[in-house]
Structure 1
């Protein structure tokens, strides 16, 4: 009997050596088993000297019981032609965890890209190469820098008139004479929606587009709701095609490329210093690099995920944006106005029905879709200290669009913390940094979000539709995040905010966030700090620092969004009280021209590193000035321009030489002037005069060409007592805000 026991022990020890490359623990499970993988791994032992492939390591881990498992990836690029899928059998069992991580000193990259070689120089300075079969290149990166599909200028609605079925403008744009118009896409933004549809035909001046992309972008589907039809391509809010892209006739800027679907070639115009004989050009080709489907107790650590593709926009579905990066797909579908059947973008990493999944220190970059999706009832999972940058769509999507899922499919107790999100939504500009649907006890804490085209953090779904009025939304926390330079004006997305919510979600709090420059420099009164939209209810907004926003620092416009409370916040503007029934706005510090020490402490502690700089406010001389104007239209008095509220407007009559004026009471140094236009953008082509004498005989004049923005910033650096804004023709001077900085 003793001999049998010894043989059994030796057999177990040998199995441990084979599986992990190191001795088995005498305690039977306290030491993790370590498996090794390498880009060229093909062994069966998964040891340091005999590493496996990724799938080999996964399969070896399935045979190990009773221990934590670490699968360590050696340095290098793991090129994936299909996703690595981890399921229930790849989970930690019996209280143990399976960890996928980098080996010590290694920087492993999971890549869905294909390297493009064999470039040939053309006489015009462009370079051309063939593309591997099965790959439709929508993005390309040269030495890690994103190239741009060749694009032209915008086309106004008066020329490119969109209808339910087609668009005019083929002749005026020149598309009627282009060599390959059916490779070209129209890119359109209407308010918060973004569309990318490929041209399928040219008939005289008429352009037709891929289906169902165009039908889903137009009114009449009854799958987005009557109210939403005001933001379709054939609505009155449609103003232009932002640009057409992917035509050789548009290839005129360094860093642009064109895909020819017939010849299966890419032609590229290099940037200065790029030599395509030595440069590394990569196009995303594989969708979804890593999928956890029903896996639990799994950790993904210290890996990089790059060059994942998203194929849908290349199909007939195209990209018919609905909101926040979700799209309407399919020619038919259920009639639903609450967004239950919209499609999320493909992501480099998808967790579906996960439990206890940890994503930590993962680098998501150079992606054709989104970074990460947690869906299908994922619970108790965390995403921490990860980086998302240079993504075509949004960074993180959490949860789903069904308001009352069964218990198994309900998203609960997930956490996103200490992550950095920059330059996402590069291609699909209606996407957001972090999106969450119907989630409960979600924590979004200490993240840094910057340089985003639309909203930063969006939690909740369903608008005010009957299907969404009762949901699982509750007890979510959006805390201590740093959100800067969002809703960028150049991307032409509107009606959003740095923090955006929908739906009744009792117990939800938005607190301790630092928000700076949301829709700053906008062309209209739009873009909020914290936006409690539609049916947002039972939400507390406390102790946030909110500066330099294009419209309201906090907005709760709908009377059916109830019981919201904003208190103890710091902001440089004022705004109307919250509108919803039972909502309150109390004890906030508004219209500040400098932040107190407590606010600076809150703002500085927000974000992933807790050491971010805080853009200081500048003292405002105008608020103590005596203000007058040439005439008054209705109740729009001159003082509304210095009341610290960008939502109230002064307005003169339309008359020759209309003016608004501030008297500082004494000659002061004036370093900068801010002009905030009013709602309807009536202030345009004005002179800003600064003078020491009341007759302006010694005036310094700065001319504002075109419509003033929100704000227009003028560097003046002069001595003056009087400031006058005067219309040199016939028209109005109408302003929401004027600030005079020393």
Structure 2
């Protein structure tokens, strides 16, 4: 059947016909043209974008009720021109605004008025700039108070615009990182008093109330005792490539940036992210997005609420009560959000069916990159995710989602508990042949529940996970994954190397994990390849035919409901050579990672 084709170009016009020689200028105009023809489709509708940057003024929203879905068995395809060929062009869909009104101060710092914006990210010549920070946290001897902190240093009184400061607490729980806003700083000649923004600080004290008896002593734990990261103040602008936002100007906020060597006003392009959503979809089906680079979106959640109260993975506290979790008399307890809220994504699809996202690049994004929620038959294939503040790919309560041949690295740059790939209570999800490296916590997370079953985690390559926080692993699974081994989760043929921070596990079945088969995987250079004792305990979990470089604790006396059989310990120093010498090991190595890019 013949295709219907439309074209979009930065040099086009929205009042043109959208043909190859008279293209539309914006994705919105092309979308309106697509909507006019989808009801009577007799072939695919293909929208091709010529090379260039498209700065969105508002999110691109796909809605089945508006006519954005394919019909009559055909698809609507948005793509880079020449997709899949040597002539494929580069297309950037940006939610940012170029900053042009720079001036230079005597200290070499550039400044520009930005109105009421308060960006958490900045892109300069295509590279992310870092928020200005003070190494080492608060100066002096610090004491926590009911409303904040007191220090015997007077230095904080010299920091201008204290209400723009944000404190960071990596490891507030070993697997969590909190961010909290400052309200004010005052003091005298001998001390400074820091008052934290409310109610976020009180909520943080309730959430991060814990005891860790297993660590020895009386179990006292105070992850909020003092911040170890302090960000966003012009007093900290000492390093090239850093920025801060001040709010002391009566006419609006001012962006401050210390340039890198060689950067010049008028030639250097700085982009502030504006939109919180680049692309969203509701009930859309038979849709394909391929060959795009999605960039420069933001998320103002911490600014709106006075903080980011992270718990685990993408979950945080934002509302409701707190639930005390007793981990046992010899371990301790923690508090968790009774109504956890998930991190949003800058590209998200809800209740999508038969949708494909292929060959895209998600980068310089201020929330999670991609979220599929309540989706069915969705393919996420051969994409790249990097420089993301939160998670790479998140799949929630969906059915038959395929996550294959993607590259995910340097995510969680701001929200460091974020996983590279997250699967939440989904059915028959496949996570296969992905390459994940240089991430701050878990590589792949699969959380179970009443509806979870049939997850396949197959032949992924996970390297240098757990770069910042503790108590996680290359692959992490929790809670029941079904009701039988036949319908449970299969974790097979994965290669996990270099799990970095202390107290980590290469293949981590945790918190009542059940109905999981861990078969024929390789773990090298983790603290411990697996753990057999967790609370609540593991039930119906099998570790069979794996290769690792140390014997797990309690291996010879596993719990009655855990099977360990046929696993092989190889010498740590010569592990690579030894595992390649075993045919089964060599086969696992050959299959792991993106197809066509083995290593």
Pairing 1:545–2:526 present: no
- The CA deviation at 1:76 is 1.1
Quick one: which of 544, 557, 562 aligns to 1:583? 562
Q: Is the 8 A contact 1:517 1:549 kept in 2?
A: yes
TM-score by length of 1: 0.70
Partner of 2:549: 572
Larger RCO: 1 or 2 (CA < 8 Å, sep 6+): 2
Partner of 1:35: 6
Pairing 1:55–2:28 present: yes
Tell me the alpha carbon deviations over residues 152-205 of structure 1, each in whole angstroms, 9 at most, x when there is no partner. Answer: 122379934445532233x52722232211111101112111111110122433
Instruction: Give the secondary structure class of the aligned counterpart of 1:439.
Output: coil
Structure 2 Cα separation of the partners of residues 573 and 161 of structure 1: 42
- The CA deviation at 1:276 is 3.2
Partner of 2:379: 382
Quick one: which of 81, 85, 92 aligns to 1:103? 81
Partner of 1:726: none
Q: Is the 8 A contact 2:322 2:337 kept in 1?
A: no
- The CA deviation at 1:540 is 0.6
Quick one: which of 536, 554, 572 aligns to 2:513? 536
Instruction: Give the secondary structure class of the aligned counterpart of 2:285.
Output: coil
- The CA deviation at 1:239 is 5.8
In structure 2, relative to structure 1, the CA distance for the partners of 1:227 and 1:349 (3 Å cut) is farther
Q: Is the 8 A contact 1:385 1:419 kept in 2?
A: yes
- The CA deviation at 1:318 is 2.2
Pairing 1:254–2:235 present: no
Quick one: which of 366, 369, 376 aligns to 1:368? 366
Partner of 1:174: 155
Structure 2 Cα separation of the partners of residues 569 and 202 of structure 1: 55
Q: Is the 8 A contact 1:577 1:585 kept in 2?
A: no
Structure 2 Cα separation of the partners of residues 580 and 173 of structure 1: 56
Partner of 1:355: 353
- The CA deviation at 1:228 is 11
Q: Is the 8 A contact 1:310 1:345 kept in 2?
A: no
Structure 1 Cα separation of the partners of residues 19 and 294 of structure 2: 24
Structure 1 Cα separation of the partners of residues 532 and 259 of structure 2: 46
Structure 1 Cα separation of the partners of residues 542 and 53 of structure 2: 50
- The CA deviation at 1:143 is 0.7
- The CA deviation at 1:57 is 1.2
Pairing 1:442–2:429 present: yes
Pairing 1:411–2:398 present: yes
Structure 2 Cα separation of the partners of residues 378 and 228 of structure 1: 39
Instruction: Give the secondary structure class of the aligned counterpart of 1:274.
Output: coil
Instruction: Give the secondary structure class of the aligned counterpart of 2:133.
Output: coil
Instruction: Give the secondary structure class of the aligned counterpart of 1:307.
Output: strand
Worse-matched range after superposition: 332-341 or 245-254:
332-341
Partner of 1:71: 47
Partner of 1:457: 444
In structure 2, relative to structure 1, the CA distance for the partners of 1:378 and 1:317 (3 Å cut) is farther
Instruction: Give the secondary structure class of the aligned counterpart of 1:287.
Output: coil
Structure 2 unmatched ranges of 5 or more? 83-87, 326-335, 483-487
Partner of 2:106: 123
Pairing 1:152–2:134 present: yes
Structure 2 Cα separation of the partners of residues 71 and 228 of structure 1: 57
Pairing 1:293–2:282 present: yes
In structure 2, relative to structure 1, the CA distance for the partners of 1:555 and 1:237 (3 Å cut) is farther
Q: Is the 8 A contact 1:563 1:580 kept in 2?
A: no
Structure 2 Cα separation of the partners of residues 66 and 336 of structure 1: 55
- The CA deviation at 1:577 is 4.2
In structure 2, relative to structure 1, the CA distance for the partners of 1:226 and 1:195 (3 Å cut) is closer
Tell me the alpha carbon deviations over residues 6-31 of structure 1, each in whole angstroms, 9 at most, x when there is no partner. Answer: xxxxxxxxxxxxxxxxxxxxxxxx11
In structure 2, relative to structure 1, the CA distance for the partners of 1:127 and 1:226 (3 Å cut) is closer
- The CA deviation at 1:315 is 1.6
Quick one: which of 570, 579, 582 aligns to 1:596? 579
- The CA deviation at 1:37 is 1.9
Partner of 2:485: none
Tell me the alpha carbon deviations over residues 227-257 of structure 1, each in whole angstroms, 9 at most, x when there is no partner. Answer: 89999xx943456422111111111111111
- The CA deviation at 1:286 is 0.7
Q: Is the 8 A contact 1:558 1:580 kept in 2?
A: no
Tell me the alpha carbon deviations over residues 382-417 of structure 1, each in whole angstroms, 9 at most, x when there is no partner. Answer: 100000011111101110xxxxxxxxxx41111100
- The CA deviation at 1:144 is 1.1
Q: Is the 8 A contact 2:321 2:337 kept in 1?
A: no
Instruction: Give the secondary structure class of the aligned counterpart of 2:387.
Output: strand
Q: Which has the larger radius of gyration?
A: 1
In structure 2, relative to structure 1, the CA distance for the partners of 1:379 and 1:128 (3 Å cut) is same
Structure 1 Cα separation of the partners of residues 598 and 261 of structure 2: 34
Structure 2 Cα separation of the partners of residues 476 and 537 of structure 1: 12
Tell me the alpha carbon deviations over residues 531-581 of structure 1, each in whole angstroms, 9 at most, x when there is no partner. Answer: 001111110111111100133445553362201010111111111246544
User: How many equivalent pairs are there?
Assistant: 550
Q: Is the 8 A contact 2:111 2:257 kept in 1?
A: yes
Partner of 1:135: 117
Partner of 1:86: 62
Structure 2 Cα separation of the partners of residues 554 and 357 of structure 1: 38
Structure 1 Cα separation of the partners of residues 35 and 212 of structure 2: 49
Matches within 5 A, 1:147-546: 147-155=129-137, 159-162=141-144, 165-169=147-151, 171-172=152-153, 174-189=155-170, 190=172, 191-204=174-187, 205-219=192-206, 235-238=221-224, 240-263=226-249, 264-330=253-319, 332=320, 341-375=339-373, 377-399=374-396, 410-460=397-447, 471-488=450-467, 491=468, 493-506=469-482, 507-519=488-500, 522=501, 524=502, 526-546=503-523
In structure 2, relative to structure 1, the CA distance for the partners of 1:340 and 1:385 (3 Å cut) is farther
Q: Is the 8 A contact 1:113 1:284 kept in 2?
A: yes
Partner of 2:333: none
Q: Is the 8 A contact 2:519 2:544 kept in 1?
A: yes
TM-score by length of 2: 0.86
